Amino acid sequence: GGGGGGGGRGRFYLGWKEEIAGMAGRPETAAWLRAVRRRIHERPELAYEEVETRRLVRDELDAMGVGFRHPVARTGVVANIGTGRPPVVARRADMDALPIQVRANRDADSFCTRCTCHPSLLTGILAATNIQLLYNSFFNFRLEIIWVD
């Protein structure tokens, strides 16, 4: 169940790996991941210009019910989940596109300006945040998720 540590199975529930794998294999999870990645990839933004990318991250965090601070380092977003106390563990994802041109299709003259790892990493960090929320009671630390340039 959402928000409770591993479906309410107690602090030392051992089936969490299988439960997470099952969540990751759901068609709606795959559809959500693809949609988020495409939204990021369609709007490449250079460092300190990530208006739409920052909005996407904030919208997704809002939908998950995760609090966040922004702007951090001009256009960054920092979310916190967990106990709120030390120790602190951090996850970081770059939001900015790289100012390079990459041929998107060998037969076309189209180019993109975002390195393909950025949308995937950003999407993966959002997905991990969503999963972390379900198992929040298992972790005795504060997790800071940082999206920056």
For the cut 90, the answer to whether the pLDDT of residue 111 exceeds it is no
Residues 26-45 pLDDT 10s: 999 889 988 998 888 888 88
Alpha carbon distance 58, 83 (integer Å): 21
Tell me 45's DSSP state.
-
Mean pLDDT of the chain: 77
pLDDT band at 78 (very low <50, low <70, confident <90, very high): very high
Alpha carbon distance 74, 95 (integer Å): 12
Alpha carbon distance 135, 149 (integer Å): 28
pLDDT band at 106 (very low <50, low <70, confident <90, very high): low
Q: By CB neighbour count within 10 A (0-12 exposed, 13-18 middle, 19+ buried), where does 109 fall?
A: exposed
Q: What percent of the chain has pLDDT over 90?
A: 15
